[in-house]
Structures are given as C-alpha cells and as structure tokens.
Amino acid sequence: RPDLSEDLLHLLVVGSEDRRKAIGFVLDVIGELEDEIRDRIVVHKVGAESNSLAEKRLKEHASKLNVNLRWHGKVEEENLIALEQHCDALLFPSAAEGFGFPVVEAMASGCPVLVNDLGAQNEHPPQSCILPAFDKSSWKEAIVKLDEERIARGSSFRAPRVDLLDVASAYSNAIIGHQHQIAYDTVIRSNPS
C-alpha cells in the first residue's frame, strides 16, 4: 500500500512530460482552486521522464502555483497498481492518445478517472468521467466534487468503483482474444484459398 495520508485528496497523473499529455493543464486547474482546497491535494506524477528539462519545468510550475506535486517517475507495475487502487482519481487530460491505456488500467483498479473529451481516452470510460476538453471550470468542479466525496466518507480510503471495473473487464485478455478470433475467422471465410 502506498504511503498516502488519509486526510488529503490524492490525484494521479500518468505519462511522460510531453506537452500533449497536458500535465501543465492539471497543475493550472489545481492552482486556480481556493487555497483551502488546493492545500488538501497531492498530485502524484508517474511515468518515465521524457527529459530532465521538462521535469524541471513542471516542478517549477507546480511550485509557482503552490501545487503539491509528488514526483514518482518510472515505477514498477505493482507500485502503479497500488497508486491506482488508493488514489482518489486518475486525471488524464491528454490532447492526443493512440489508445489511452492509463485510463483502462486505472478503471481496472476501480480508480475513478477524469478525461478530456478528446482522442482515444474518451472512448473507454462512462460519460460521467468525460469532461469538456480543456474546460478549466469543468475540471475544477469535478476535482472539488472528488474532494467533497473524500471529506464526506471521513478518514477511510475510497471503495473501488464497480461500474469502472465492469467497463474495464471488456478489455480482458479472454475477451480481446475472442474478438481477434472472430475477426480472423471472418477474414479467412471471406478469402478462401
């Protein structure tokens, strides 16, 4: 279990520091929250660094905005899963993705997700997890709601979101394998040799 204080809101961002991942946007949104709320938030950044200058830029940006950024860098898979299981939400505002694996992986851990209504990441979660692209007001409102939910449940960590577990189960190896089998069978039947 990761070392997470129960009296803080723990938000996870996963990915490189590439600008399309929009980690700076997350910092801007949190930086605009009321001090009392912002001071209760920890942003956990996980992902192999693209370069040290980008890391330095984001850390300085967080510091300037008084955002508590905990930099994990590259972590073992079991540590990432533990963060997904225990953080209050994954924030994934990426401007472009090929698939959006972090979103599906977080949902498979029962972790709430918030994503921009863009790219491939908006194809996976339920509508309640999809926010207007780069609309700071909507993102702030969603984060405040997460904080209110955390306060309402007291000192205990959040329960897994069963609806997200169900959505993620559609990406299991067995289901994907079966879908590939159907696709290959269709191709073979339509192209007899």
pLDDT of res. 134: 97
Q: Per-domain residue ranges for the chain?
A: 9-190
pTM above 0.85, yes or no: yes
pLDDT of res. 100: 80
Exposed e or buried b per residue across 28-37, where buried means at least 16 C-beta atoms within 10 angstroms of its C-beta: bbbeebeeee
Report how far residue 65's alpha carbon sits from residue 43's, in angstroms, rounded to the nearest whole number. Answer: 13
* Chain segment 10-38, per-residue pLDDT in tens: 999 999 888 899 999 999 999 999 999 99
- Write down the residue that tokens 């723990």 correspond to: 10
pLDDT of res. 179: 66
Write out the E strands in the chain: 9-14, 41-46, 68-73, 89-92, 113-116, 130-131
* pLDDT tens digits in sequence order for the chain, 193 residues long: 788 888 899 999 999 888 899 999 999 999 999 999 999 999 999 998 778 899 999 999 999 999 999 999 999 999 999 999 999 999 999 988 877 889 999 999 999 999 999 978 888 899 999 999 999 999 999 999 999 999 998 867 788 899 999 988 887 666 666 566 777 777 788 877 6
* Chain segment 124-139, per-residue pLDDT in tens: 899 999 999 999 999 9
| CATH fold of the domain at 9-190 | Rossmann fold (3.40.50)
What are the distances in angstroms from CA 4 to CA 12, 50, 134? 12, 26, 28
